[in-house]
Chains A and B, each alone.
Chain A
Amino acid sequence: MKTMKKLTTLTALSVIFGASGALADCGIASGRVAILSNDFPALQAMAAGAAECASATVEVTANQTTEHRDLQVAALTANPAEYTAAIVANSSIVPLINGGLIRPLDDLIAQYAPNLPQLNKITIDGKVMAVAFMANAQHLFVRDDVLAQVGAQAPATYEEVLDVLAKIREAGIMEHPFAMNTAAGWNLGEEFVNMYLGHGGELFEAGGAAPAINNPTGVATLEMLAALNAYANPDFLTFDSNATQALWESGELAVAYMWGSRGGAILDDENSTPEVTGNTSLLVAPTVGGGTLPASTLWWDGFTIAANISDEDAAATFQALIHGLRPEVISANNNAAVWLMEGYVPGAPAAGVAATANAGARPYPMLPYAGLMHTALGNELAQFMQGQESAEQALADVEAAYIAAAREQGFLR
C-alpha cells in the first residue's frame, strides 16, 4: 500500500496524463478490435467509446456478458484469439496469466500512452500485464433518516452495525433492515473473504497453497456473518447485487453492504423515491473484531490484450481502448464508476469506495489458487448460513473441498 493511499491523489495524477493530447483521435491505420468484458454501464461506455474507432479498415466488436469469465480462457487460447482484448479484474486476470494468454503491454504503452500513470499499470514480475481503469469495493450504505429515528450515529464497526440493526427492529421500523450480497456461490464466498480479512485473517499459509481458514478467526467471521444476516430477509441466500440494489431502492433496507459500483445507480432518481435517495449515505466499510482495516477487499477492473493475435491487431486494440477511456468518455459517464482515469471528478457515488481505500482495505489476493478457495467457500458455507451445521463443521468442509480441488489442479500434493 505504499504507492498510493488516496483515490483522490490518483485522480489528480491522472490529470497530468491527459495533457499529452495524443488521444484526441484514434489514428489507427487498420486492425481488428474485439472486446470481451463484463456487462455494466461503465464498461458499456468504454466499449461505445472504443467503437468510435471503427472505420473501413478497422473492425470493432464487443461481447459484453456477465459470463465473460467462463469464456475468456477458451476464447483467448484459440490462435488467433477470438477476442483481442479481455476486460478483467484482480481475480479473473489470474487464469489468463497462468495460461500465458495475454501479452506484456510495456511497448504499447511506451508508443501510444507514454504518460500513463504508474497507478494504472498492473505490473506482474516487472511487466505491465493490464491497464487498470476503475476501482471497486464493497462498503456500507446507510439510510440517514432511519438512523436518526433511532438516534444512532453512522456505524464504524460491525459491532455497532449490529447495535443499530437491533434498535431499528426494536423500534418496529423494519423487521429486516439489513442486506449484503449473500447469494450462495461466488457472492457468499466474497463476503467471507471480506469479513475474514477484516478480522486480520490470512486465507493461505505463508508461501504456499495450503489453506489457513479453519481456525478461530474463521469461526468469528462466520459468527459475524450469521449475526448480521439474522437481520436480513430470510431469502438472503439468493441475494446478488441486482437483488440488494432493488431492495435498497424500494426503501426496505436501512443498512446494507454493497458494491461501490452500484452507488451511481442507487443515488440517481430512477427506480426509487427522493425519500430513499436523499437519505442514502455511502460510508467506509466497517472494521470488525477490534481490527483496524475495513472488512472489505479492493478490486480493480482493467484491460488486457491477447497474446495470440498479430502485433497490428494488438496495437489497434490498445489504441481503441485508450480512445474509449479518453477524458470526454470518463466525464460523460462520471458517476458510472470510480474511474482511475483522467477526466474523473469523484462525486457522491465514489465516496464509499474512496473512504474504504483510504482506510487501508487490502486488495483481493491475486493468487493462482484463490479462485479455488473462493469456489469452496461459496459452495460449502450455505448450510451454516441456514443454521444447519456448526461454524467449525462448515470451515472443515471448506478446507476439505479446497484441498480436493487444489490437489486436482496440482497446487497441493
Chain B
Amino acid sequence: MPHRTFLWFILPSLTAMILFIALPIVSVVVQSLFVEHEQVLVTVENCGPFGCTEETRVDREATAALREAQPLGRFNGLGTYFNRAHLATAELSAAWRESETIGAFFSQVMNLPFYKALVFTLSFTFIVTPLVLVLGLAIALGVNGLPKILRGPTIFFSLLPMIVTPLIGSLVLFWMIDAQGVIGATLQRVFDDPNLSLKASPALTWVTLFVYGVWHSAPFAFIVFYAGLQTVPAETLEAAMIDGATRWQRIRYVVIPHLMPLAVFITLMQLMDNFRVFEPIVGFQAQASATSLSYLIYSHLRGDVQQFGSAAATSVLTIIGVAVLLTPVLIRTWRDFNRKRV
C-alpha cells in the first residue's frame, strides 16, 4: 500500500487518538508540574444557626489576582512526584536510616500511601492475570468437550460474570460476604468463629478482591481461548493420538502451542486491566485494607478540596507503570512479528 493511501486510511483514528488520548496525557503531565497558588488567608466573622465565630477564609480577590497572573498555578517541577503522597523520597530515606531490620523498613514503606497502593496493585496484577489465563483455558477445554447441545447455555452462563457491570458484581458479592450474608454467615458456621469477617482483616480482603478479579475476568480469557480451540488443526491432533499421546500430552504439545499468540494477547489485556483495578475497591468498600493507584487518583479528586496536581502526578506514574509492565510482552510480540516477516 502506498504511504499516501495508508495515511488517509488511518487519519480518522489517528485524529481521534491525538485528540482524546495524546492531548489529555500531555495536559495531565503539564498539570502534574504545577501546584495551587499560595492562598491568601483572612479572618472574618461567620454567622449561622449555631452562632458566630471568627474563622479563616481565603481572600478571594487577592487569590484571583494571583490566578490571573499565573493561570496554571505555581510551577513546582517534579516536587509533587517526590512528596509524601507519591514517591516520598525523603520519607523513604528517613525510614532506611531509622529502621534496624528490613522488616521494619518495609512496614514503614507500607505506611506511605503510594507504595501501599503500588504493592496491592502489583499483587493484584500478578496474582489475578495468571489465574485468569489458567482458569480461562480450563473452562474453554471443558466447554469444548461438552456435547454440542449443552454448549450454548454453558457458554452463556460462563460469560455472566463479564456481562455483569463490575460495580454491581462487586456490590452483590459484598453483600453476600457480609457477616449477615449467605457466604459470610456460612463461613462463620463452618469455621465456628463468630468474629471471622472477610471485610475486617486486610489479608482476607485482599483474597476476596483477588477472587473477585479472577471471577470477573476469567470469562474473557475463556471466550478467546474457546474461539482459538475451534481452529486447532484436527490432523495434528489425530496424528498425536495415533502416536499414542495422552489427552494431557495433546493439550500440552498441540493445543497450548497453537493458542500461544492468544495467551500473549490475553496477558497483554489483563496486565493493563488489572493494573487499573478500581471498581472492586469501591464496591467492596475495601479502602481501609487495599488501595490501588487508580483508587488514589479518585481519592485525590474527591471531597471538598480537589487536588489536581496530586491526581495528575499519580496518573503519570500509573502510565509509566503500565508502560514498564507491557514492555516485555511488546518486545516479544515485536520479535515474533519480525521473525514472521523474514
Chain A residues proximal to chain B, CB less than 8 Å: 1-4, 10, 69-70, 73, 90-92, 94-95, 97-100, 118-126, 132, 135, 175, 183-186, 207-209, 233-238, 240, 298, 300, 340, 357, 362-363, 365-372, 374-375, 379, 382-383, 385-386, 388-389, 393, 397, 400-401, 403-405, 407-411, 413
Contact = CB atoms under 8 A, between A and B. Distances in A.
Interface of B: 35-39, 41, 43-53, 55-58, 60, 63-64, 74, 76, 80, 83-85, 91, 111, 113, 178-179, 194-195, 197, 199-202, 285, 287-289, 299, 301-307, 309-310
Q: Which 5 pairs, one residue from A and one from B, show the smallest C-beta to C-beta distance?
A: A371-B304, A184-B288, A382-B288, A234-B200, A125-B44
A185 B113 CA distance: 14
Given A397-B111, A410-B36, A374 B304 contact: yes
Contacts of A407: 35, 83
B199 to A, nearest CB: 4
A401 B58 CA distance: 21
Nearest to B309: A408
B74 A401 contact: no
B36 A408 contact: yes
A340 B49 contact: yes
B82 to A, nearest CB: 10
Contacts of B302: 69-70, 375
Contacts of B287: 184-185, 379, 382
B301 A124 contact: no
A295 B305 CA distance: 25
Given A69-B303, A410-B36, A184 B285 contact: yes
Contact of B197 (A234, A357, A393): A234
Contacts of B199: 234-235, 237-238
A401 B85 contact: yes
A100 B60 contact: yes
B50 to A, nearest CB: 4
A1 to B, nearest CB: 4
A92 B35 contact: no
B59 to A, nearest CB: 10
Contacts of A73: 306
A155 B99 CA distance: 45
A362 to B, nearest CB: 8
Contacts of A120: 49
A371 B58 CA distance: 14
Given A92-B304, A375-B299, 17 more contacts: A3-B47, A4-B51, A70-B302, A70-B303, A97-B57, A135-B50, A236-B200, A237-B199, A240-B285, A300-B49, A357-B50, A363-B51, A363-B53, A370-B304, A408-B76, A408-B307, A413-B38
11 contacts: A69-B304, A123-B47, A209-B56, A236-B200, A298-B50, A300-B49, A368-B39, A371-B304, A397-B111, A401-B84, A404-B85
B306 to A, nearest CB: 7
A375 B304 CA distance: 9
Contacts of B91: 400
A95 B53 contact: no
Nearest to B308: A408
A92 B306 CA distance: 12
A235 B305 contact: no
A70 B306 CA distance: 8
Given A184-B288, A386-B202, A408 B50 contact: no
Nearest to B37: A410
A70 to B, nearest CB: 6
Contact of A405 (B38, B74, B310): B310
A234 B195 contact: yes
A382 B38 CA distance: 31
A235 B200 contact: yes
Contacts of B45: 123, 125-126
A237 B47 contact: no
Given A100-B60, A382-B288, A393 B111 contact: yes
A2 B55 contact: no
A374 B299 CA distance: 12
B106 to A, nearest CB: 13
Contact of A383 (B39, B111, B179): B111
B113 to A, nearest CB: 7
